[in-house]
């Protein structure tokens, strides 16, 4: 899954894709480099990020979805927590909704996905991005992540989304200290066994990598990201969400061969 942030303040991008032509060009390039999905987001969810009004988010996202729907061969995902944004993007050709709040911010988003027949990604997080680290207190990390994701799966099914259209994301870097994020990557098979749903992992350039990489800024963390992506694939992840699609597509192919050799 290639990350296409159409925001002026995304933490992980070296170039700000704030105009339509640049965003379209970037998405087409990611598809050519091996992306199987393109995830378009108009609101930064980095730690401490301020909320974006729905009308502003729509102005950023919907024209990009509209422009790409007829050009890309791969599915488009919209990264939003707001039902109106999801509805507009799905109407323009998006096929999935990637909700970092797992329907906890706007429960109506579940009905929107159900009515459109869309896929829905539910991510584990506690609190809001502005103060989510205050919620990073775990007694049994994977047991709690699995239990809380199972609750959100039940909420999505109750909203009308069939279980076979649901993907779970353990939320690496969200309401998790670095040790928690590494713990999630090390223990992904536990999540797969507990929930029996496809797993998406998004470790790309995140701050949990910083200390291990001697404080490097986000755009210089691709080697660290490659290690995390490898761990995710070996742990059973079905989708990895990344910025550097061309490089990470190679990482995924090799990691997948290793995983296949384990299971043969």
Q: Which residues are catalytic?
A: 206, 241
Residue 241 phi, psi (nearest 5): -100, 120
User: E strands along the chain, which residues?
Assistant: 2-5, 38-41, 76-79, 96-99, 119-123, 166-169, 200-201, 239-240
Distances in Å between the Cα of 141 and the Cα atoms of 131, 172, 186, 230 are 19, 12, 11, 21
Of 212, 205, 258, 208, the closest CA to residue 236 belongs to: 258
Distances in Å between the Cα of 240 and the Cα atoms of 84, 128, 237 are 26, 23, 7
Residue whose tokens read 């909203």: 159
First to last CA, the chain: 26
The strand order across the sheet containing 76-79 reads 2-5, 38-41, 76-79, 96-99, 119-123, 166-169
Tokens of 20: 């339509």
Residue whose tokens read 């087409």: 28
């Amino acid at each position: 899954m290639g990350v296409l942030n159409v925001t002026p303040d995304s933490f992980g991008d070296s170039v700000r894709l704030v105009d339509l032509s640049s965003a379209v060009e970037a998405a087409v390039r990611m598809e050519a480099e091996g992306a199987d999905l393109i995830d378009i987001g108009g609101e930064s969810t980095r730690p401490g990020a301020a909320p974006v009004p729905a009308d502003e988010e729509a102005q950023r996202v919907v024209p990009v979805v509209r422009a790409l729907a007829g050009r890309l061969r791969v599915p488009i995902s919209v990264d939003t927590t707001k039902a109106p944004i999801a509805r507009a993007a799905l109407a323009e050709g998006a096929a999935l909704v990637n909700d970092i709040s797992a329907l906890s911010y706007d429960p109506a988003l579940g009905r929107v996905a159900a009515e459109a027949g869309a896929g829905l990604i539910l991510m584990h997080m506690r609190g809001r991005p502005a103060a989510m680290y205050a919620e990073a207190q775990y007694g049994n990390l994977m047991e709690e992540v699995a239990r809380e994701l199972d609750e959100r799966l039940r909420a999505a099914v109750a909203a009308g989304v069939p279980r076979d259209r649901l993907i779970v994301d353990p939320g690496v870097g969200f309401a998790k200290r670095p040790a928690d994020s590494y713990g999630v990557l090390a223990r992904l098979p536990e999540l797969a066994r507990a929930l029996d749903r496809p797993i998406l992992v998004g470790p790309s350039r995140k701050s949990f990598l910083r200390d291990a990489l001697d404080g490097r800024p986000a755009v210089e963390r691709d080697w660290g990201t490659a290690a995390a992506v490898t761990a995710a694939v070996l742990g059973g992840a079905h989708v990895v969400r990344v910025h550097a699609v061309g490089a990470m597509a190679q990482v995924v192919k090799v990691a997948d061969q290793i995983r296949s050799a384990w299971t043969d």
